[in-house]
Structure 1
Amino acid sequence: MNGDAYNHADGSSQAAKRYKSQRSLGHSDPARQHPDFWYQDGSVVIEIDLTRFCLHQSTLQKHSAYFSALFRGKGKSKSDGRAYHELEGGEPSQNGHIPVYHVCETTADDFVALLTVIEQPIKYAEEVPPLSILAGVLRSAGALSFTAQRKWAERTFERMWPAAFDTLTDEVIPNASTALTLARTCGVRNVQKRASYELLRMPTFGQSIATVLDTVQVGRRGRADATDLEALPHADLLRLVHAREQLCLAWAEAAGKAPTDLACPRGTQTQTSTERGSCASMDVDRMHSRWAELVHTNGLFAQWMADPLMGLQKLVDIPWKDEGFCKRCVSARRNEWEELRRKLWNNLDVWLELPTAADSE
């Protein structure tokens, strides 16, 4: 999905109503000047949520197709919740009155995050921004068509939540529910997958029991509280439950019992076991015994029940050769577990109902 093509109708309408309501309370002009983004030599004032920003028109139209189009349509007002030009008055300045534009497509906080990144490009090119800054840029850059900043925010977000198979480790990335909600809102597919995976391997999907129960009740009522990013929507909880069921079934089948169905590749060779040495897989009782000790008694099976992808990696990492299994047996089984890991990772796309790559364009 194109980052500049969000459907902001509901948010814009709510912002417009909020603006009109605030305007009607007490003062004819209750807006305040932002303490940091009020430039004395600014040429245009942008008002969002009763906060005014005195900025350089040339900078805004350089970065934003939204503002470029808005300024070309100077003098045309809109009352449908989108931006409009204040035709009368304006903001007094040392150079006379400058035009004021009211913008309802984003929030003041998100706009501040966007301006902060534009003002300090070198800083944020060298360090990872706080999630609050990144979220604000993603939302406001998408809403106001700041294409370059939107792409930067997407790339940064995806680096924080990589979806490549070879980036998986047993270290859980925190704040997954916030990341998932933000990724769904902004259409960042790869982050949706990694954040969902992190939630899958957390107890109660990283939610408190009270939060989960509240979310289920909200789902039944058919509405959601968008102010609480930590509370996962009912639909996401159902997707996670389904995906975890599938992963647990795969783990039980792969690690529940010793894999005695795979014959030792050396068993068909002409050399005798005396010449080559015996392989533990040729002794079924011995294999069951070692499997029970290494996988079950040691707690590996239970520990990785919620994270079979890393559980399978732990099986791969066991020094099976030291346990008496031949090199070919070890290689065959490790290849089988690696193939299953990749298959499960790919299946998450279906189980989690993730958008396809085409949907994200």
Structure 2
Amino acid sequence: MYAATFWSRAFPRSLFAIISISTTNMTNSNPSMSVEEGAARLRRHPKYWLDDGSLVVRTQDDLFKVHRTLLQRHSQVISSLAERVSQDESSLMDGCPTLHVPQELGVESTDFEMLLEHLYHDFPLGLDAPLSRVAAILRVSSKRQLDFPLLHRLARRELEHMVPSDPTAFYEVKHPDSMLILAVDYDVHTIQKALFYTVATHANLQHDEPESAIPGFNAPQVVESVDPDLANQFKLSPELTKRCQRLLDDLVGHFTPVLFTVATAGHMTCTDIFAEQWMPLVIQPALENSGLCRPLETLQTIIDLDWEAQGLCGECVRAKREEWREEQRAVWERLDGWLGLTSEK
């Protein structure tokens, strides 16, 4: 996953010297640190240090004074941790028990802040939430961290809503690699296919060249262009990169004979027009614009061409467009098998 700083927002924090016997407990992760040093590095959150709060929660070096019942009612993890400190007078800070979220849970202060923003209705998670907020709440509400089940389901739904389900939408989403990482890490299977397709077809990965497109047809040697800025922005683990590489090989292997096979029509006159125009109108543009690696987009381009203006009859154009749409659907369905997602649904 991305480092927490990828999602973090910079905001000013006030520093307070906190002199309390509970500080001894808070610095026990570093025995060589003095009480004064431990106190100086802790920060009361400038917003979520509530005067009427009943529980102090520490994540990393940040302190949040919030309402205990609000957190406990949604999280069994918080409830269990709070019970352990409720009877410990040495953990009191500002009159409240202090709960130190275990470091091994990996809870980031910025993620916990966004969770509180939702719980206190300052910035509730909704359809207009940016990916950074959805990702933060997805992480902190998961079972591997603080386990807020209802909120985690909401975050999953919001992530799903960010990815179109229509295979002809071509998934023009921002940060598809970040979304793919989240979808895989948290088993959001419904959007993995779209995200794998988007990343695999836009990440400037090398792909296997088919030995021949179709018998007796020599394809022009044209190097497909890519947008280096788009490709270089993707950051994936080696394992996800391998999966995207394998998917791209499957896509190219499947689509090459489709692209290089000149279309035929019900009428000979229309077939002759395809034979004359297939190279300049279909193959050449596809090779110049990475179309071989992007079958869904290339098929849509073929569908949208003004074939009537080339002299084809309306009957043949309608029939061929339906064939190309069917090929789009076939590619979309094959993605499940290529990615091994069928058994995961």
Q: TM-score over 0.5 for the alignment?
A: yes
Equivalent residues in 2 for 1:52-67, closer than 5 Å: 52-67=63-78
Paired position in structure 2 for 1:11: none
Which of 29, 33, 42 is the equivalent residue of 1:25? 33
Q: Distance in 2 between matches of 1:177 and 1:19?
A: 37
In the alignment, residue 113 of structure 2 is paired with which amino acid?
A: V
> Is 1:243 the counterpart of 2:263 in the alignment?
no
Give 1:1-361 correspondences, 5 Å limit: 20-22=28-30, 24-27=32-35, 29-30=38-39, 31-71=42-82, 74-75=83-84, 87-93=88-94, 97-104=95-102, 105=105, 106-120=107-121, 124-125=125-126, 128-142=128-142, 143-162=145-164, 164-166=165-167, 168-169=169-170, 172-204=172-204, 231-260=235-264, 264=266, 279-281=269-271, 283=272, 286-297=273-284, 299-303=285-289, 304-354=291-341, 356-358=343-345
With over 3 angstroms needed to count, the CA separation of the structure-2 counterparts of 1:26 and 1:309, relative to structure 1, is same
Question: One-letter code of the match for 2:91?
Answer: G
Q: Is the 8 A contact 2:54 2:68 kept in 1?
A: yes
What percentage of residue pairs aligned between the two structures are identical?
27
8 Å Cα contact 1:158/1:191 also seen in 2: yes
Q: What is the RMSD computed on CA atoms of the aligned residues? A: 3.1
TM-score, normalising length from structure 1?
Answer: 0.70
Q: Are the structure 2 counterparts of residues 257 and 207 from structure 1 closer, same or farther at C-alpha, using a change threshold of 3 Å?
A: closer
- Indicate if the aligned counterparts of 2:57 and 2:98 stay in contact, CA closer than 8 A: yes
Equivalent pair of 1:34/1:53 in contact (CA under 8 Å)? yes
Secondary structure (helix, strand or coil) at the match of 1:305 reads helix
Give the Å deviation of 1:59. 0.9
**1:213-254 deviations in Å (ceiling 9; x for gaps):** xxxxxxxxxxxxxxxx95311111111111111212222211
3-state SS of paired residue (1:161): coil
**Structure-2 separation of matches of 1:302 and 1:247:** 17
Query: One-letter code of the match for 1:34?
Result: H
> Which secondary structure state, in structure 2, belongs to the residue aligned with residue 34 of structure 1?
strand
Structure 1 segments unaligned to the other structure (5+ residues): 1-17, 76-83, 213-228, 268-277
Distance 2:58 2:279 in 1: 67
Q: 1:90 to 1:353 in 2, by over 3 A?
A: same
8 Å Cα contact 2:55-2:65 kept in structure 1: yes
TM-score, normalising length from structure 2? 0.73
Specify whether residues 232 and 166 from structure 1 end up closer, same or farther in structure 2 by C-alpha distance, changes over 3 A only. Answer: closer
Aligned length: 290
- Contact 1:244/1:306, CA 8 A, preserved across alignment: yes
User: 1 CA distance for matches of 2:71 and 2:334?
Assistant: 43
In 2 relative to 1, CA 167–317 (structure 1 residues): closer, same or farther, beyond 3 Å? closer
- Give yes or no for contact 1:44–1:54 (8 Å, CA) kept in 2: yes
Aligned residue identity for 2:100? H
- Deviation by residue 1:108-158 (Cα, 9 ceiling, x = unmatched): 221111111222367543x52232222110000112222232122111111
After superposition, the Cα gap between the structure-2 partners of 1:178 and 1:20, relative to the gap in structure 1 and judged at 3 Å, is: farther
Question: Residue 139 and residue 85 in structure 1: after superposition, are their counterparts in 2 closer, same or farther (change >3 A)?
Answer: farther
1:207 and 1:231 in contact (8 A); partners too: no
Consecutive unaligned residues in structure 2, runs of 5 or more = 1-25, 206-225
**Matches of 2:330 and 2:32, distance apart in 1:** 59
Report the AA paired with residue 110 of structure 1: D
Q: Deviations along 1:244-283, whole A, 9 cap, x unmatched?
A: 11212222211213123xx51xx6xxxxxxxxxx7412x3
The answer to whether the 8 A contact 1:62-1:68 is kept is yes
